[in-house]
């Protein structure tokens, strides 16, 4: 696992944003998946700036969401949808058909999974997936113990994920399940970037880099991907 260590969060965000821009320049109709959560917020802001300056043309590109808390919608502060729209899509002029995102309030979760699977396959797969890493090594909501042969599916959330979730919400919430792209969806993407920032991620980053691929640490399962780029800032690399 090759790890690129950059100085700080700003450099991390700029590096990953440049990689997305390069992907879209090479393939204007690229399908990009960017995680929700706190880590990619700087990437969103760098991409919005680049788009406003005309440094990247996103008019032909498409975006697919990585995951969502089951039961939450865009109206719920801290949902993945609310965060990605609030920091990214609301600041771009994309057409509705360019975006596919899980509806966490769906009454038919299995059909919702197939809808997102279809969006991806109709576009010939994902060009680039940009991932964060959970405190327990999860990728999207592929939790410890994750199978590698899954496409979009529903997950029972790990206790760590349930307790970490409080940082996103403005009120106490019981989130027990998530809906996520599966490890197979992610491993079938043309390229994968795993990003991590901050000292609190240092232990899981070190474990991910050192341990052989194991479902106990889902991020290690990315090691089999031929075009995986791991980018971390110095605090997140401090235990390497
Ligand atoms: C969250 C999300 C993931 C995210 C990861 C890290 O629970 N489900 O999509 O990548 O955990 O989140 P953060 O970037 O906020 O640390």
What pLDDT, on a 0 to 100 scale, did the predictor assign at position 93?
93
Q: In which band, very low, low, confident or very high, does the pLDDT at 1 lie, cut at 50, 70 and 90?
A: confident
What pLDDT, on a 0 to 100 scale, did the predictor assign at position 83?
96
CA distance 24 to 190: 13
Catalytic residue among 91, 136, 190, 211: 136
Q: What is the mean pLDDT of residues 60-66?
A: 98
CA of 133 to the centre of ligand 1 (A): 6
Walk me through the domains of the chain, giving residue ranges and CATH numbers.
2-233 (3.40.50.1360)
The half-sphere exposure of 187 on its side-chain side, counting CA atoms within 13 A, is: 17
Radius of gyration of the chain (CA): 16
Asked if the model's pLDDT at residue 2 lies above 90, the reply is no
DSSP letter (8 states) at residue 189 = S
**Contacts of 90 by beta carbon, 8 Å cutoff, 6+ apart:** none
> Which is the closest atom of ligand 1 to the Cα of 180?
8
> Which is the closest atom of ligand 1 to the Cα of 131?
10
In this structure, what token pair is assigned to residue 56? 């990247």
- Active-site annotation holds for 138: yes
Q: What is the mean pLDDT of residues 62-91?
A: 96
Looking up tokens 């939790």 gives 143
Helix axes 80-87, 41-52, angle to 10 degrees: 30
Task: Give the mean pLDDT of the chain.
Answer: 97
What pLDDT, on a 0 to 100 scale, did the predictor assign at position 68?
98
**Contacts of 166 by beta carbon, 8 Å cutoff, 6+ apart:** 172, 173
């Amino acid at each position: 696992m090759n790890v690129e260590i950059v100085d700080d969060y700003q450099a991390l965000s700029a590096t990953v944003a440049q990689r997305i821009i390069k992907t879209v320049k090479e393939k204007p109709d690229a399908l990009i998946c960017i995680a929700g959560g706190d880590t990619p917020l700087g990437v969103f802001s760098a991409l919005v700036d680049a788009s406003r300056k005309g440094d990247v043309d996103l008019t032909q590109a498409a975006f697919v969401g990585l995951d969502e808390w089951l039961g939450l919608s865009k109206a719920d502060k801290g949902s993945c949808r609310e965060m990605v729209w609030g920091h990214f899509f609301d600041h771009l002029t994309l057409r509705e058909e360019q975006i596919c995102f899980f509806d966490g309030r769906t009454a038919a979760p299995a059909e919702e999974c197939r809808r997102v699977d279809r969006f991806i396959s109709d576009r010939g797969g994902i060009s680039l997936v940009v991932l964060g890493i959970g405190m327990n090594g999860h990728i999207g909501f592929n939790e410890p113990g994750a199978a590698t042969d899954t496409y979009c599916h529903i997950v029972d959330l790990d206790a760590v994920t349930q307790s970490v979730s409080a940082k996103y919400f403005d009120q106490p919430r019981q989130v027990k399940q998530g809906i996520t792209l599966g490890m197979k969806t992610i491993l079938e993407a043309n390229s994968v970037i795993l990003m991590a920032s901050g000292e609190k991620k240092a232990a899981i980053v070190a474990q991910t880099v050192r341990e052989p691929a194991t479902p106990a640490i889902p991020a290690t399962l990315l090691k089999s991907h031929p075009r995986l780029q791991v980018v971390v800032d110095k605090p997140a690399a401090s235990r390497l």
